[in-house]
Amino acid sequence: MTKSSKGTYELALVMPIYNEEECITDVVNAWHDELLRLKIDFKMILLNDGSKDGTKEKLELFEGNPRIVVINKENSGHGPTILKGYHKADDIAEWVFQTDSDNEIKPNYFFDLWRIRDNYDALFGIRTNRRQNIGRKFISLVSRMTIKLFFGSEVTDVNTPYRLIRAPILRQIIDQVPNDTFAPNIIISGALTALNVRICNLPVLHEGRKTGSVTIVKWKLWKAALKSFCQTIKVARKFKA
């Protein structure tokens, strides 16, 4: 296993979790085993966002594993939870990787990003075969157009939860992003373009959710999209200044 020359981990993996008791053990084990297989010096940061099912109890199985830290927190939403993880990760690692806990994108695609990381500053897994209802398709389109309008964007899938970013660059961005931001990954995608860093987009297979349920539905989805749009505008001004 390669040790970081800076005395930190090579990689910190950030995983926000909410009500995933059916799959979380398998997901965490799969990522842990894959990173070990790749001989990466890593730390996994698992953030339980106030789950109401048995997720907390499932995560207790990983207590004592030196490669895994579990953070149980009050529910604040997916975006703020990601940001909390990012702020912890960029202090301890050279690279930060974020993935969701729903098992929709498997760990075996990670090596495609990791093996070419030295040539880039941010690498994104672009979801293929993704099935969305008409509402989510529209909101995804609006997100892409918003980022392109205010930042320009070289990121094909601006909200993908499969992203590998150099820690110093990520820190430079998230220091400008409020902790209550609903969809920080969208803003980060745009800001990376504004900073003119080297970006890579690679396809990854997106599989449909087999456990749990989507937490934002119907009118809440549209309300969330409006909130995200307004927050993106505010942050974009900081990078345009």
Instruction: Write the CATH number for 198.
Output: 3.90.550.10
Kindly report the pTM of this predicted structure.
0.87
pLDDT at 3 over 50: no
The rounded distance, in Å, linking the Cα atoms of 219 and 50 is 23
Quick check: is 4 in a domain? no
Quick check: is 221 in a domain? yes
Which tens digit of pLDDT belongs to each residue from 161-207? Answer: 999 999 999 999 999 999 999 889 989 998 998 899 999 999 999 98
Q: From 158, 83, 79, select the one nearest 124 (Cα to Cα).
A: 158
- CB burial class (10 A; 0-12, 13-18, 19+) of residue 78? buried
Look up the domain containing 56 and give its range. 9-240
Higher pLDDT: 84 or 136? It is 84
For the chain, the average pLDDT equals 87
How many structural domains comprise the chain? 1
Pair of tokens at residue 150: 């205010």
The rounded distance, in Å, linking the Cα atoms of 204 and 150 is 27
DSSP H or E segment with residue 35:
helix 24-37
DSSP H or E segment with residue 73:
strand 68-73
Phi, psi of 225 (to 5 degrees): -65, -40
DSSP H or E segment with residue 49:
strand 42-49
The rounded distance, in Å, linking the Cα atoms of 167 and 122 is 10
Per-residue confidence band for 233, with pLDDT thresholds at 50, 70 and 90: confident
Quick check: is 2 in a domain? no
Quick check: is 160 in a domain? yes
The rounded distance, in Å, linking the Cα atoms of 217 and 238 is 31
Per-residue confidence band for 156, with pLDDT thresholds at 50, 70 and 90: confident
State residue 7's pLDDT score: 46
Quick check: is 111 in a domain? yes
State residue 64's pLDDT score: 95
Average pLDDT over residues 142-147: 67
∠ CA(45), CA(47), CA(51), 5° rounding? 155
SS3 84: helix
The rounded distance, in Å, linking the Cα atoms of 113 and 95 is 12
Quick check: is 3 in a domain? no
Of the CA atoms within 13 Å of residue 26, those in its CB half-sphere come to 10
